[in-house]
Amino acid sequence: MKNLYLIFSHRLTDEQEKQAMEQLEIKECIYLPVSLQKLWSNIPPDIHSIKDYLVPLKEWLIGEAKPKDFVLVQGDFGATYIMVDLALSKGFVPIYATTKRYAEERIGPGGEIQLIKRFSHTQYRQYEKS
């Protein structure tokens, strides 16, 4: 059976984990080690290139995952691109979660506007080459 490696900034909801187990037929969801989670969640916006910054994440993924394993990648656009490209080159299956989004505006008594946003997991979608 395949594993699902999680390269993103939060934990899966129960619904997302259940869907991964059933639809992707995975045996285990594997989160980043704490040090790599901090690295992924805090990519500096002020460095010109993040290629070297991501080396520990790349080394971890290459050392852990096997071909056909899933890799959920979401986050900084440039970092996501680099990690998806790596996953494809190593025979991993890069995916991302899709959501339905709901927004509601409420106007308070003083005219202030409160925006309420809700997100609901829909499915996993595979990154594809054009």
Pick the CATH number of 2-98 from 1.10.3470, 2.60.40, 3.20.14, 3.40.50: 3.40.50
**Domain residue ranges of the chain, discontinuous segments joined by +:** 2-98
pLDDT digits (tens, 9 = 90+) for 29-80: 999 999 999 999 999 999 999 999 999 999 999 999 999 999 999 999 999 9
Amino acid at 117: K
Q: In what order do the strands lie in the sheet with 2-7?
A: 26-31, 2-7, 70-73, 93-107, 113-126
The Cα 56–Cα 26 span in angstroms is: 25
**CB–CB of 24/70 below 8 Å?**
yes
- What pLDDT, on the 0 to 100 scale, is given for residue 1? 87
Q: 3-class DSSP state for residue 108?
A: coil
Q: Read off φ and ψ for residue 88, nearest 5 degrees.
A: -60, -40
The Cα 82–Cα 79 span in angstroms is: 5
- What pLDDT, on the 0 to 100 scale, is given for residue 32? 97
Give the bridge partners for 71, in sequence order: 5, 94
